[in-house]
Homo-oligomer: A and B are copies of this chain.
Amino acid sequence: MAKTALVISAHSADFVWRCGGAIALHAAKGYEVTVLCLSYGERGESAKLWKLADMSLEKVKAARRVEAENAAKALDVHDIQFFDLGDYPLEVDRDAKYRLVDVIRKVQPEFMLSHSRWDPYNTDHMYATQIAIEARMIAQAWGHNPGEKVLGAPQLYLFEPHQTEQMEWKPDVFLDISSVWEKKWAGIQCMEGQEHLWHYYKNVAENRGNHFMRNSGGQSGGRKATHAEGFQSVFPRTVDEL
């Protein structure tokens, strides 16, 4: 059985900027990574498209979906799903929560990925995490759809938001994505509607590479890493060796 991971992305581009490297890296290690886009970001994260003539919500959603699917391909995503719940604001009702629980139980992820706990610029982001935490709990309940395999206790990693300090986000793990940087860069370039962010996230990846090195061996060297991604763990780890 392949190992699995699950990304819960508020809008259809978030998974690319924030954990595209983790996706591609784990895919390369044999993980099947599922990406769940709660919305397309059609209203709030598609300014460039809305400036075009003759645009409609459906057209924007279609364009965003194509971009996300292309990026998913570039990143070797195993499965990408679109819940199309609307954005700005994202709203997740009980039925949608249960659909999310269904996905979590089916995937049985080794770990989950979602947004920061606080984001005053974008309440959809923090709401997605709140829902992810709630759905994780429901998926663990023996009395929810009795007979189904319940969820264990996968780690929930919060991926890097824009303006990390404003989001009260603090990474406690840096993942070396040097070996898959080209894939992440290809995925980023699929997001044609947000070209102004490409260079920004390239810089982020390079500087997180610096942080990786700073923590992996100190000033005197440290293993070389050209690119990295940072994550904040919600739950403590359990280990057999420090």
Contact = CB atoms under 8 A, between A and B. Distances in A.
Interface in A60-82: 60
Given A43-B144, A89-B134, A176 B239 contact: yes
Residue with the greatest number of chain B CB neighbours at <10 A, chosen from A89, A122, A206: A89
B236 A143 contact: no
Residue with the greatest number of chain B CB neighbours at <10 A, chosen from A166, A175, A176, A236: A236
B207 A57 contact: no
Given A134-B89, A217-B153, A233-B172, A146 B50 contact: yes
Nearest to A142: B50
Contacts of A25: 240-241
A85 interface: no
A215 B46 contact: no
Interface residues of A, number: 93
A210 B195 CA distance: 13
Nearest to A124: B137
Interface string A190-231: 000000000110011011001110111111111101001011
Given A88-B144, A214-B163, A219 B50 contact: no
Interface of A: 5, 22, 25-26, 29, 42-44, 46-47, 50-51, 55, 57, 60, 87-89, 91, 94, 97, 110-111, 120-124, 130, 133-134, 137-138, 140-144, 146, 150-153, 155-157, 162-166, 168-176, 199-200, 203-204, 206-207, 210-212, 214-223, 225, 228, 230-231, 233-242
